[in-house]
């Protein structure tokens, strides 16, 4: 059986990915899938395994750089209703409330819907863009906390097509990292605490305002490019290396926050990658720190230093 046989309802070819990413650069996906149910996802991952095709899941594209040549892979987007539904548990009893969300749900909207109800936990994610699945996969967060702090369990489909529910320990949460390589996140349950709605909303607004003041949110970027090295800030090191405003083609280091790269209209993934390579080299020369990438890279482009360090 061919890879796509019988999957016409959920598969298309050569989908341009630039329109799906915040950088707005990059080429097409060989296959683009929009499964309707977990059974569709199981079928897809089994076929990818049988046909030796890479399988990648696209969230909101907020933390993603796609090669100009595109990706020779199956790219899945979980935007069907099954994957975007949010369910609130019983809010009348006890202080703790369980809330579940599909992996394709927009985390920013979901987090705000919990904050509005006076549920504490996800307000720390204010201003962090992504789907629930994407946020979990990389354990997104900021100086106020990360998503792992509230996760109760995560449902995933493994490369053999089977659905599992994982505890946080099984997910392997670490700083901007999980052990979920190869697994497709389908949804998660969060353990939130009931609090005074006005207080939770005020905290959310304060975190949101810190982010808008310190980061260039209105430009085409993918958030922080590098992870923070232990005990330091990548943005501070890049800034101290004098790289704010450094430019490569249509890509430049933000003057507002140095861990952000902005892509102008007409910029390419190669421009962004070349700038990433330069930042890593200069920060390493100056401070002896080899910055590790936070942004996910799809396709063949890699900064040369990243290959050496891998």
Nearest CB to ligand EPU, comparing residues 164 and 236: 236
Closest by CA position to 221, among listed 4, 23, 48 = 23
Report strand pairing: 184-194 vs 296-298: unpaired
**List 41, 60, 66, 224, residue binding ligand EPU (CB under 6 A):** 224
Q: Does 214 bind ligand EPU (CB under 6 A)?
A: yes
The least CB distance from residue 142 to ligand EPU, in Å, is 2
Q: Is 92 a catalytic residue?
A: no
Report the residue closest to ligand EPU, judged by CB: 142
DSSP 94-157: SSEEEEEEETTSBHHHHHHHHHHTTEESGGGGTT--SBHHHHHHTT-EETTEEGGGTEEEEEEE
Looking at 24-32, 71-79, 160-168, 251-259, which segment touches ligand EPU (CB under 6 A)? Answer: 251-259
Token pair in block for residue 112: 């705000």
Contacts of 65 (CB under 8 A, 6+ apart): 21, 23, 25, 26, 222, 269, 272, 273, 295, 296, 297, 298, 301
Q: Does 221 bind ligand EPU (CB under 6 A)?
A: no
Q: Catalytic: 280?
A: no
Among 36, 49, 211, 286, binds ligand EPU (CB under 6 A): 211
**Residue 36 and residue 232 in contact, taking contact as beta carbons nearer than 8 Å:** no
Active-site annotation holds for 123 = no
Q: Kindly state whether residue 294 participates in binding ligand EPU, applying the rule CB under 6 A.
A: yes
Pick the stretch among 5-13, 95-103, 256-264, 284-292 that binds ligand EPU (CB under 6 A): 256-264
**Residue ranges with strand state E in the chain:** 11-16, 28-33, 54-58, 64-66, 71-77, 86-88, 96-102, 119-120, 141-142, 145-146, 151-157, 163-166, 184-194, 247-248, 251-253, 261-263, 296-298
Q: Is 253 in the site for ligand EPU (CB under 6 A)?
A: no
Instruction: Name which of 1 and 230 has its Cβ closer to ligand EPU.
Output: 230
Binding to ligand EPU by CB under 6 A, coded x per residue (else -) over 103-142, reads ---------------------------------------x
Contacts of 112 (CB under 8 A, 6+ apart): 204
Chosen residue from 259, 280, 299, 303 binding ligand EPU by CB under 6 A: 259
CB of 159 to ligand EPU, least distance (A): 27
C-beta closer to ligand EPU: residue 133 or 235: 235
- Interface with ligand EPU, residue 257, by CB under 6 A: yes
SS3 5: coil
Any contact of residue 223 with ligand EPU (CB under 6 A)? yes
Q: Report, as residue numbers or ranges, the catalytic residues.
A: 176, 224, 294
Residues that bind ligand EPU (CB under 6 A): 142-144, 211, 214, 223-224, 227-228, 233-236, 239, 257-259, 294
């Amino acid at each position: 059986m061919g890879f796509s046989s019988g999957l016409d309802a959920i598969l298309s070819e050569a989908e341009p990915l630039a329109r799906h990413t915040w950088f707005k650069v990059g080429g097409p996906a060989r296959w683009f899938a929009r499964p309707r149910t977990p059974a569709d996802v199981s079928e897809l991952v089994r076929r990818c395994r049988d046909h030796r095709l890479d399988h990648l899941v696209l969230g909101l594209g907020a933390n993603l750089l796609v090669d100009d040549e595109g990706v020779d892979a199956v790219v899945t987007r979980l935007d069907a209703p099954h994957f975007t539904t949010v369910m609130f548990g019983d809010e009348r009893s006890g202080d703790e409330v369980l809330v579940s969300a599909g992996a394709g749900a927009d985390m920013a909207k979901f987090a705000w819907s919990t904050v509005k109800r006076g549920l504490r936990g996800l307000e720390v994610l204010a201003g962090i863009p992504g789907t629930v699945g994407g946020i979990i996969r990389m354990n997104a967060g900021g100086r106020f906390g990360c998503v792992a702090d509230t996760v109760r369990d995560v449902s995933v489909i493994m490369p053999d097509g089977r659905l599992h529910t994982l505890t946080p320990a099984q997910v392997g949460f670490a700083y901007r990292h999980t052990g979920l390589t190869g697994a497709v996140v389908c949804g998660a349950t969060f353990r939130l605490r009931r609090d005074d709605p006005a207080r939770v909303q005020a905290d959310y607004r304060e975190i949101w305002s810190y982010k808008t003041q310190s980061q260039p949110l209105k430009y085409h970027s993918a958030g922080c490019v590098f992870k923070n090295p232990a005990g330091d800030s990548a943005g501070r090191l890049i800034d101290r290396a004098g790289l704010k405003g450094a430019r490569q083609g249509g890509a430049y280091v933000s003057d507002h926050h140095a861990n952000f790269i902005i892509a102008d209209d007409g910029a390419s993934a190669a421009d962004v990658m070349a700038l990433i390579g330069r930042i890593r080299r200069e920060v390493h020369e100056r401070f002896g720190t080899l910055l590790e990438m936070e942004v996910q890279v799809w396709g063949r482009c890699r900064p040369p230093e990243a290959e050496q360090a891998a």
